[in-house]
């Protein structure tokens, strides 16, 4: 991983590093009490000089977001996270099917990883890029029920998972998704060919069966300039 995506010449590199970590803390992605990677590990992961990371960490400490504990490491402090206002909207699952019809898949994680859920259910974990017209459109981290994966492993490994589920006639009793605005971290910026800290749409999507068991879940990250949400509201007496 490197910082080739950092192209803002007017913004110091340590400020970019601090901004990424700040977004992760204020969004709850790094919860209170979470331990940050060691300085050497962050330096290697980000491909920057040690002093750059030190300056970024000092900035976050001054802002009261992290706390350095001698001999233990650096931890996220318990800070007030801004409350999000939710707008609920119902839609038909056919809209998801229509959206993925024109997409292509580039696999980032070559081998699917088998993970065991808290209820003993097994999932295949995959990471891939969806492209449109040969350009990155979406970064996807997904989990698929292992039993369903085994029904068409070759297809699930190289095609859009949602499309394969539809073709196989997998029964989906409930579907839901949550959309928030987030910011591109280092890996995401490199994968989507965008600038670090640029706005992205973060979509968390889940499909459940008739028993309420999770079939499929995915976190999808779209560059902010490639996705538009269009909503129509019914009008009538208030």
Asked whether residue 82 is assigned to any structural domain, the reply reads no
DSSP codes of every residue in 195-206: -TT-EEEEEEEE
- Looking at residue 4, its pLDDT comes to 45
The answer to whether residue 221 scores a pLDDT higher than 50 is: yes
Q: Residue 151: beta bridge partners?
A: none
Cα 73 to Cα 15, 52, 103: the distances in Å are 21, 18, 43
Structural domain including 18 reads 13-76
pLDDT score of 135 more than 60: yes
Which of residues 114 and 82 earns the better pLDDT score?
Answer: 114
- Write the pLDDT tens digit of every residue in 3-37: 444 444 456 888 888 988 888 888 888 889 999 98
Residue 28 sits in the same domain as residue 108? no
Domain shared by 118 and 175, yes or no: yes
65: pLDDT strictly greater than 90:
yes
Q: State how far the alpha carbon of 229 is from the alpha carbons of 73, 89, 180, 200, 201, in Å.
A: 42, 11, 11, 13, 10
* Max mean pLDDT range (54-68, 76-90, 179-193): 54-68
5 domain-assigned: no
Residue 142 lies in a domain: yes
Domain count, the chain: 2
**What mean pLDDT do residues 127-143 have?**
89
Alpha carbon separation from 151 to 95, 145, 167 (Å, rounded): 25, 10, 12
Does residue 4 lie within any of the structural domains?
no
CB 162 within 8 A of CB 96: yes
Same domain, 26 and 128: no
């Amino acid at each position: 991983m490197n910082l080739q995506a950092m192209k803002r010449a007017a913004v110091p590199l340590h400020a970019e590093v601090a901004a990424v970590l700040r977004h992760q803390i204020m969004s709850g992605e790094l919860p209170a009490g979470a331990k940050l990677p060691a300085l050497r590990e962050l330096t290697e992961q980000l491909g920057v000089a040690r002093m750059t990371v030190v300056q970024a960490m000092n900035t976050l400490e001054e802002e009261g977001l992290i706390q350095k504990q001698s001999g233990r490491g650096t931890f996220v402090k318990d800070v007030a996270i801004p409350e999000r206002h939710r707008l609920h909207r119902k839609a038909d699952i056919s809209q998801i099917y229509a959206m993925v019809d024109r997409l292509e898949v580039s696999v980032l994680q070559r081998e699917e990883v088998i993970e065991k859920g808290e209820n003993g259910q097994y999932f295949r974990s995959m990471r891939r890029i969806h492209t449109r017209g040969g350009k990155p459109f979406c970064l996807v981290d997904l989990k698929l029920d292992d039993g369903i994966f085994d029904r068409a492993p070759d297809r699930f490994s190289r095609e859009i998972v949602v499309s394969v589920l539809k073709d196989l006639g997998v029964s989906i009793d409930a579907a839901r998704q949550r959309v928030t605005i987030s910011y591109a971290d280092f890996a995401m910026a490199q994968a989507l060919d965008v600038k670090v800290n640029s706005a992205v749409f973060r979509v968390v999507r889940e499909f459940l069966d008739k028993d309420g068991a999770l079939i499929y879940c995915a976190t999808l990250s779209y560059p902010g300039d490639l996705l538009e949400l269009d909503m129509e509201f019914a009008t009538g007496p208030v």
